[in-house]
Amino acid sequence: MSAPSSTHEQGHRAPASRVALALRARELGIVIALVALVAVTAVVNPRFLSAQSLRDLVLGAAILIVLAVGQTVVIITRNIDLSVGSVLGLSAYAVGSLLQANPGLPIVAAVLVGLAFGAVLGLVNGALVRFGNVPALVVTLGTLYVYRGVAFFWAGGQQINADELPRGFLGFGTATVLGVPWLLVIAVVVVLATGYFLRNQRSGRELYAMGSDPAAARLVGIPVGRRTLAAFTFSGALAGLAGVLFAARFGTIDAAAGNGYELNVVAAAVVGGVAVFGGSGTVYGAAIGALLLTTIGSALPVLGIDQFWQQAIVGALILLAIGTDKAVAARVAARLRKESSRV
């Protein structure tokens, strides 16, 4: 057992850094695209870089970033979570009605409730995938409907308005600390913590192993079922957190909150270089992808391009991103093959 694993390690180390290099270059690509977009837009209209418009931009991006981080963790394990938009809506409504009933509730408690609520919904997804032996695509497509339906039932056509929420909570949606919006601080913390975990923790690395080859991961003793459960719970918890952020940011919450978000979230991850069939990608890439998608949305009107183009551009970006990843992967594979034949 120990002998083969050590040779495996040795044989793997050099190529792994090269793969990491390729991936880093991949993230550099989106950063360049983002910078170019911002630069061009700022030249056309300098007010695009005004504090107010930048703040609106990052507030919008923060929610998508949090969702994209959770999605990335799930996709890395070769699963997918289509229910995030519905989890966001349900937990936003839950937290909203909780605050409506208890205006004195501290914000931290609201955030924790959102996290826990989302975690339970994510746990249901994970349990169905693990114990039901059902593909994640189908399970989360089903819970997308179920959670959304429950939200509609609960809301019963009502919506929670901003004036029914505590002033302090709404302030949290736009408040800043040292000039940086709280929402962005939370998003950045989520990204950095998850990024550190995925890169440096053993269980984080195991998620990549699962995504690369689930059968092999099982054979080397990775508790695949438990990790799957954890990944879905994590994604659910972050979607719940995003629900709290959504409630604080927009104030008005109805049962349709976050409807259709799943597409944007998956798009952000894919544009950010997370491979849909697992095993590669980083939360940093996904976060920049989310930022890029949000920036496109707010740059188009500034550039005088009809807003109707936005979705088409997002679609084209997704195709471009997966095409690029495929080309990069093919080149890396070719180089690895050359490498190993030389040895």
Partner 1 sequence: MSDLLKRFTGWDVAVIAVLVLFVVVASATVDNFASARNLSFLVLDLAPVLLIALPMTLIIVTGEIDLSVASTLGLSSAVMGALWDGGMSIELIVVVCLVLGAVLGAVNGLFVTVFGLPSLAVTIGTLALYRGLALVVLGDAAVAQFPGTWTGWVIGGNAGIPNIVWPLLLLLVVFGVVLHATPFGRSLFVMGANKEAARFGGIRVARTTFWLYVVCGVVSALAGILWTLRYSSARADNGSGLELAVVAAVLLGGVSIFGGRGTLWGVLGGVTLLAALQNALRLADVSNEALTVVTGLLLIISVLAPNAVGAIRSAASRRRPPGGAATSPAPPDPPAPASSPPVQSDPSSSPAVRSS
Determine which residue in the list 36, 315, 333, 339 makes contact with partner 1, applying CB under 8 A: 315
Chain center to CA of 32: 20
3-state secondary structure of 84: helix
Pure H helices in the chain: 2-44, 51-76, 84-101, 107-132, 136-155, 167-174, 182-200, 202-212, 214-219, 224-250, 261-271, 283-303, 309-342
Smaller CB separation from partner 1, 49 or 137: 137
Given a contact cutoff of 8 angstroms between Cβ atoms, the answer to whether 295 and 37 are in contact is: yes
Stretch that binds partner 1, among 12-20, 43-51, 246-254, 255-263 (CB under 8 A): 255-263
Minimum CB–partner distance for residue 266 and partner 1 (Å): 6
Minimum CB–partner distance for residue 22 and partner 1 (Å): 18
Minimum CB–partner distance for residue 197 and partner 1 (Å): 25
Smaller CB separation from partner 1, 103 or 323: 323
Stretch that binds partner 1, among 35-43, 113-121, 243-251, 305-313 (CB under 8 A): 305-313
Smaller CB separation from partner 1, 241 or 274: 274
Smaller CB separation from partner 1, 162 or 328: 328
Determine which residue in the list 21, 36, 276, 334 makes contact with partner 1, applying CB under 8 A: 276
Q: How many residues bind partner 1 (CB under 8 A)?
A: 46
The reply on whether position 142 binds partner 1 by CB under 8 A is yes
The reply on whether position 314 binds partner 1 by CB under 8 A is yes
10 Å Cβ neighbour count for 55? 17
3-state secondary structure of 180: strand
Query: Which residues lie closer than 8 Å to 60 by C-beta, 6 or more apart?
Result: 294, 297, 298
Sign of CA dihedral 313, 314, 316, 320: positive
Binding mask 181-220 for partner 1 (x = CB under 8 A): ----------------------------------x--x--
Stretch that binds partner 1, among 15-23, 87-95, 111-119, 317-325 (CB under 8 A): 317-325
The reply on whether position 94 binds partner 1 by CB under 8 A is no
Given a contact cutoff of 8 angstroms between Cβ atoms, the answer to whether 283 and 191 are in contact is: yes
Task: Locate 302 and state its tokens.
Answer: 């500034």
Task: Locate 63 and state its tokens.
Answer: 């929610």
3-state secondary structure of 158: coil
Query: Which residues lie closer than 8 Å to 26 by C-beta, 6 or more apart?
Result: 273, 285, 324, 325, 328
- Burial bucket for residue 109 (CB in 10 Å: 0-12, 13-18, 19+): middle
Stretch that binds partner 1, among 60-68, 89-97, 141-149, 180-188 (CB under 8 A): 141-149
Determine which residue in the list 23, 190, 207, 270 makes contact with partner 1, applying CB under 8 A: 270
Minimum CB–partner distance for residue 48 and partner 1 (Å): 22
**Interacting residues with partner 1 (CB under 8 A):** 80, 128, 132-135, 137-139, 141-150, 152-153, 215, 218, 255, 260, 263, 266-267, 270, 276-277, 306, 308-316, 318-319, 322-323, 326
